[in-house]
Structure 1
Amino acid sequence: MSAPVEIRNSAASNSFAIIAPFIGAAVAGVLAFRALSSDTARGPVLLLIVFAVGCLGWGLIKASSGFDSGVQVVLDSQGFRDKRAGDVLVPWETVRSVGLVHGNHGGPTLVNFELTGEMPEAIKYSNANALNLMLPGGGNIVHMEMSSLDISEGEMMAAIRRLAPGVKVGR
Structure 2
Amino acid sequence: MEISLILNNELVWDKEFKSCKEYVSNLKSLAPNEVKMREMEAKFLNLVNTDKDVSKYYKIGGALCISLLTNTTFAYADTLGGVSDKLKTIVSPLIELLAGLGYPVTYGMLITGFIMVIMGKKSKGIDIIKWACIGYVGLQFVPFILNILELIGRELRNSL
Same fold by TM (over 0.5)? Answer: no
TM-score, normalization by structure 2: 0.36
Structure with more relative contact order (C-alpha pairs < 8 Å, separation 6 or more): 1
- Bigger fraction of residues in strand: 1
TM-score, scaled to structure 1 = 0.34
Structure whose residues are more often helix by fraction: 2
Q: Which protein has the larger Cα radius of gyration, Structure 1 or Structure 2? A: 2
